[in-house]
Amino acid sequence: MKLLIRLVRLMTIVRVFIRHGLDELLFNIPYLSPVSFIYKMLPWNWGKKETRSRGERIRLALEDLGPIFIKLGQMLSTRRDLLADDLADELKLLQDRVPPFPGEEARALIETAFKKPVTEIFKQFETKPMASASVAQVHAATLWSGEDVVIKVLRPGIEKTIRQDIELMYIMARLLQRYWKEGKRLRPVDVVREYEKNIIDELDMQREAANASQLGRNFEDSDDLYIPKIHWEYTKPNMMVMERIRGIPVGNIDELIAHNINFKRLGERGVEIFFTQVFRHNFFHADMHPGNIFVDPGNPEEPRYLAVDFGIVGTLSPDDQRYLAENFHAFFNRDYKRVAELHVESGWVPSATRVDEFESAIRSVCEPIFQQPISQISFGNLLLRLFQTARRFNMEVQPQLVLLQKTLLNIEGLGRQLYPDLDLWTTAKPFIQRWMDEQVGVRALLKGAQYNLPKLLENIPYMPNLVFDVIKQTSQQQTKMYQESQQLNQLQQQMARNQRSTIVTVAGGALLITATLTTDSPLLPAMMGMSLLSWGFGVSGLALLVSGLVRR
């Protein structure tokens, strides 16, 4: 049954591509162009004339294929250095203009969740959605208290579609991992598993509300970023209600210009927010495409960001965070040897890798990008070259870092839109330096003391008993060690005595055997002088044998 479902979904994908004329793009690839006449002879191409642009066709196909493909388009829409302008402009529409589902369905979902009419829950509810995204859509409403809010409602049946697409992704990933020579290193199954976890988490509105609350606490006293307040009493697994914010979409450059926004400061704050989330809070918004970011124009010289959509957040393990920070720190200081060493220490490259060779390869990739504005730096091209270098040194993909890499690409795309001359390195370096100081410097010592002080104060009343217990345990341990030492000495002495007894017994036995042999010899009776010698051996041997047995 599952196989049938997968085949049906695969056929659906092919049918969508054909319907939107994307099969034609395949034969524009130079290697396949010689056989393009076969494509033109297919029945569905007879008399066919495509009037839509390729960007529009790709966008519509991604919309028809569902949330996973839409999210791919959202990410690509920020990569104008990788895409042609017409493609980037079309994919940008996926950020917040995904075709909505009927507002009446959203109303019915809300009423089912609360088991009462929507008019009893909200003073006002707008059936027409404010925005529609891949997983959910947003409706405006007013509480009976008079506060304006927004309601985020999951698309009906979305989980089933997502799980079907994930199954197809697993099939392709397993085939790649098994038959592609780069499969083992790139770990596509692990990457799909990490993506599955994140997108399934996005289907739980209560989890998203908790993410928003945590981010709000992290930036509670900050002028850089504002997170809307969550109304928990109205939040359910398939819907979330939060404070309504009003700002300018960060992608609306013309309106930002009209409000005299300081783009340089806005770009710097975007970078600062990213590094603050990653290295100070270790809890970062991992879906920061322009459709989820707004700007508060209240103070144009110090503009503040407003964020929405908290379904995907990321964290790092302490080890990954430390290795990443040290990599950035070494990178900003052009210490490529340390970068190479960290990759080996972290296990990201095989332990047998020659550090000097890896250092040289990293230098050749990274050195050209320093002291350049962001307009002249392409992380896409940089990552492509790093990918080629990684392949040479068998560096494995780290699935736990995929979200961070995606967020960094979003930040770069945002920076390009806002302030192309932003110096990313100058803006980011102080954050990395501060993090390093907090981990290994004087700040680390003070932070450790601050963290452990409450525990120390809590245990001060018990210190006398603890000290007495330690002294008592030490004394008991010393007594036990002394007793064991005495027993060991006695054992050694007994072993020495046994050894001496064994030697005496063996000697006695040897003399007795000698006496016996000399006495029984047929030649010896004629040699009377030797008779006395044999009796002497016998008596001496008997005495030694008895002595040895007695000692035992």
Active site residues: 287
What amino acid is encoded at 484 in this protein?
E
> Secondary structure of the chain: what % helix, strand, coil (to 5)?
65, 10, 25
- Contact assessment for residue 357 and residue 394, using Cβ atoms and an 8 Å cutoff: no
Cα separation, 467 vs 238, in Å, equals: 56
Residue among 95, 155, 101, 63 nearest 309 (CA): 95
Tell me 252's DSSP state.
-
CA dihedral 519, 523, 527, 530 (to 10 degrees): -30
Strands (E), 100-158: 124-125, 131-132, 136-142, 148-154
Please identify which residue in the block is written with the tokens 């509670």: 220
Query: Beta strands 293-296 and 248-249: pairing type?
Result: antiparallel
- C-beta separation of 226 from 310 below 8 A: no
Question: Which residues are CB-contacts of 416 (< 8 A; sequence separation ≥ 6)?
Answer: 80, 81, 374, 375
Distance between the two ends of the chain, CA-based, in angstroms? 82
Residue whose pair of structure tokens reads 């999951």 in the numeric block: 154
The 10 Å Cβ neighbour count of residue 473 is: 10
Q: Are 158 and 168 in contact (CB under 8 A)?
A: no
**The token pair that represents 265 in the structure block:** 């400061």
* DSSP output for 164-190: HHHHHHHHHHHHHHHHSTTHHHH-HHH
Sheet strands (E) in 145-238: 148-154, 225-226
Cβ–Cβ under 8 Å, residues 206 and 235: yes
Task: Please report, for the chain, how many H helices and E strands are present, in that order.
Answer: 23, 11
In this structure, are residues 410 and 289 in contact, taking their beta carbons and an 8 Å threshold?
yes
Q: Select from 49, 87, 240, 81 the least CA-distant residue to 149.
A: 240
